Structure 1
Amino acid sequence: MTAPVSQPQPLYRSPWVIGTAVVLVTIALAVTSVFVGAADLTPSDVLTGQLNEAQRSALFISRIPRTIAIVLSGSAMAVAGLVMQLVVRNRFVEPSTTGTTAGASAGILIVLLVNPGAPVIIKLIVSTIGALTVTAVFVVLIARIPARQSVLIPLVGIMTATVVEAGVTFVALRHNLLQSIGAWTTGNFAPIIAGRYELLFLVGLASLATWVTADRITIIGLGKDTATNLGVSYRATLI
């Protein structure tokens, strides 16, 4: 009896081919995005350097920062979502079911109450701290849930997010800030200009660091006992 002969994998299914195709499509879409908008700007104008003052301002103050912000935000959200699902070992987990979005809203609310005229960078930093704080509370809570009861993980996240959102809504209503909170938590890249997106470069570095440590994150997704047996510090990697 002869052993079955394995069929060679088609080239189009190769991870390298798929990855290269995704990168090329992303670059093409990013370049196309630079030339989409109300201002009249064409690739020939950029290649020949024949740009007037209005076109130059539209390109370097609005279009390029907007495109960079979209790429950094999209890649970071994808990486962060995958990491969270690996860490808690549940595919139903996402920012709204872990309290991350609610924590960001709470951070924005605090800034609007304490110092409404604070720079955008300060608002983003406080919002990030709020998101990380509530997410950390969620991680601490689910650490006490047995692994076999994975259905409880998104329920705990939803309850945590609901409690925080209720508090944010109550305070925002009392101070007439509900509309401002909604504006900050709605994804809109139209107002992105130079000077209002640079903090996202830190997010890009965080995504790169996550890629470098992807093997350790994957291992802790297998559970504390497995990670410990493989020589990975579960608690340090989780933090």
Structure 2
Amino acid sequence: MKKRYLIILLVILSILSVFIGVVDLTPTDLFHLTESQSQIIWISRFPRLISIIIAGVSMSICGLIMQQLSRNKFVSPTTAGTMDSARFGILVAMLLFSTASPIQKMLVAFVFALAGTFIFMKILDKVKFKDPIFIPLVGLMFGSVISSITTFFAYKNDLIQNMSSWLQGNFALIIQGSYEMLYISIPLVILAYLYANRFTIAGMGEDFSTNLGMNHKKIVNIGLVIVALMTSVVIITVGMIPFLGLIVPNIVTIYKGDNLKNSLPHTALLGAIFVLACDIIGRTLIFPYEIAIGVTVGVIGSGLFLYLVMRRKVYE
């Protein structure tokens, strides 16, 4: 899995994505664009492409960091309650700050996502049965409890339909002016790369990290803040994209190993490619209609998750 092949594949899929849509556009049209075609490219399709790439990169790196810090390959924002906590935070923002801007809602979601992730990590420390399959099941149960609380309060305040439609992963509504918040993820990705070696050491355990003179808790907290903030930004802008942070890091780790600095660029590229491919499938399968990205990634991701579970059992 060489990086240049991933880059070439990403470029090919990106070009395909720009020219797929209800309004016909061909590469030759680029040389004599009408005003309406120009608006379609710059107001709709190009912002959609950018948001797909950033969301894919962000959620994949979130999963990679969480798996490294928790020392469990089946932990991700989906299986650790991070996404459900962010969703609960968005509901609280809608109830208490009805006129809040997207940035303010994102900050509330960030606080709840961070709190939920910290609680999961504390639960992880208390669990004595450290089987790799058992831990994400605990996370899924924890997330389900938070999701049930969110659904209860949404039902009581007649916000079920609003929450469901708004937070379902969907790039169809992405246009110029509605996706720029995703740019917050770019410096966070750079920060994750700069701290990659420290996250790798932190993943070897507190005793090992302390013996090397590193503040283990500080590095873990930095990693969790990065994860919570990127997850909140993606959920506010695009919606929930399940299993992405679980599948992509596992696939990369099989070929690149557990050194975070080596695997992070490949994880970012493969995450963008995976979301882009799922988006293209969703747009072409029932053309001219489209399937939401949360559905396509969820179906394909759940199948790959089962494969990874079965693959682990075979090696055991």
TM-score range, shorter chain: 0.7 to 0.9
1:6 corresponding residue in structure 2: none
1:65 corresponding residue in structure 2: 47
| Residue correspondence of structure 1 range 6-25 to structure 2 within 5 A | 18-25=2-9
Indicate whether 1:229 and 2:211 are aligned. Answer: yes
1:42 corresponding residue in structure 2: 26
C-alpha distance in structure 2 between counterparts of 1:99 and 1:202, whole Å:
22
Give deviations 1:206-225, integer Å, cap 9, x for gaps.
11211222111111111111
C-alpha distance in structure 2 between counterparts of 1:148 and 1:118, whole Å:
41
Cα drift, residue 152 of structure 1: 5.1
| Residue correspondence of structure 1 range 90-105 to structure 2 within 5 A | 90-105=72-87
Cα drift, residue 117 of structure 1: 4.8
Please give the secondary structure, in 1, of the residue aligned with 2:178: coil
C-alpha distance in structure 2 between counterparts of 1:166 and 1:73, whole Å:
26
Percent identity at matched positions? 37
Give deviations 1:104-134, integer Å, cap 9, x for gaps.
2112211222344544444334333322221
C-alpha distance in structure 2 between counterparts of 1:53 and 1:132, whole Å:
45
Structure 1 unpaired stretches of 5+: 1-14
- Find 1:29's aligned residue among 6, 10, 13: 13
Moved over 6 A (4+): none
Indicate whether 1:203 and 2:185 are aligned. Answer: yes
Whether the 8 Å contact between 1:121 and 1:196 is mirrored in structure 2 is: no
1:168 corresponding residue in structure 2: 150
Aligned-CA RMSD value = 2.0
Indicate whether 1:143 and 2:92 are aligned. Answer: no
C-alpha distance in structure 2 between counterparts of 1:122 and 1:65, whole Å:
22
Structure number with the higher helix fraction is 2
One-letter amino acid of the counterpart of residue 60, structure 2: A
Cα drift, residue 29 of structure 1: 0.8
C-alpha distance in structure 2 between counterparts of 1:44 and 1:120, whole Å:
38
Structure 2 unpaired stretches of 5+: 222-316
Cα drift, residue 148 of structure 1: 4.9
**TM-score, structure 1 length as denominator?**
0.84
C-alpha distance in structure 2 between counterparts of 1:116 and 1:39, whole Å:
36
